[in-house]
Chains A and B, each alone.
Chain A
Amino acid sequence: QKEVEQNSGPLSVPEGAIASLNCTYSDRGSQSFFWYRQYSGKSPELIMSIYSNGDKEDGRFTAQLNKASQYVSLLIRDSQPSDSATYLCAVLRNNAGNMLTFGGGTRLMVKP
């Protein structure tokens, strides 16, 4: 089992719809969770961080964390073609210092 798992996609949604990206992790002691967006040929950029169970909203983005079920998700409301990118889930595992473990990424395609 991979430490951080994501569906590779592509996930295709129409413009204006809600895109839902999911991530599961194996280390139950993980404390911190991050979503990065990576455009083709570019380096990842941080979108959201979440540390406690529940929802965290920032503009069109909502991160959801459920530690009991060991999953974290990212919702993108009113999806735009410019949101088309690969979304990387990253987990800061317990006792791993500040080393992030990344999932394989989900490629999102928002069609006009």
Chain B
Amino acid sequence: GAVVSQHPSWVICKSGTSVKIECRSLDFQATTMFWYRQFPKQSLMLMATSNEGSKATYEQGVEKDKFLINHASLTLSTLTVTSAHPEDSSFYICSASWLWDTEAFFGQGTRLTVV
């Protein structure tokens, strides 16, 4: 399957700081990238859908000014958690797909801990 690389795998940051997470499609051009958040023992929660060159579409209840998404190229999308707080501590996962009606491939995930 296609390879999606997410970086970093884990990060610890101080409350009030910002953290940037990168999601790269290594062997294909991703028309769309998705960002999910997953709290312990809960299912994936879609945060936003990101299309290259356009503004991300955020799910209801997700603050777009807090979770900044940039999809500058067909192989890279970034999620920046701004002014992070302990309640933002979670497992953030990106996925990417390259065609309509195809499966999505997931990055390894980033475990964020805000202290």
Are A97 and B32 CB-contacts (below 8 A) given A49-B103, A102-B44? yes
Q: Flag whether A17 is at the interface (Cβ < 8 A).
A: no
> How far, in angstroms, from A105 to B105 measured CA to CA in the complex?
17
Report the interface size class on chain A: 20 to 34
Q: Which residues of A lie under 8 Å from residue B34 when comparing CB positions? A: 99-100
In the complex, chain A residues whose CB is within 8 Å of the CB of B43: 88, 102-105
**A-side contacts of B102, CB under 8 Å:** 32, 98
Cross-chain contact A98 with B44 (CB below 8 angstroms) = no
CA distance A41 to B93 in the complex (A): 11
A54 contacts the other chain (Cβ, under 8 Å)?
no
Give the size of the chain B interface in residues (CB under 8 angstroms): 25
Known: A88-B43, A99-B46. 5 other contacts (CB 8 A): A42-B109, A43-B109, A92-B101, A97-B32, A102-B43
23 contacts between A and B (CB under 8 A): A32-B101, A32-B102, A43-B6, A44-B44, A44-B93, A45-B106, A46-B1, A46-B103, A46-B105, A88-B43, A97-B32, A97-B49, A98-B32, A98-B99, A98-B100, A98-B101, A98-B102, A98-B104, A99-B32, A99-B34, A99-B46, A100-B34, A100-B104
Q: Which residues of A are at the interface with B, using a C-beta cutoff of 8 A?
A: 31-32, 34, 36, 41-46, 49, 88, 90, 92, 97-100, 102-105
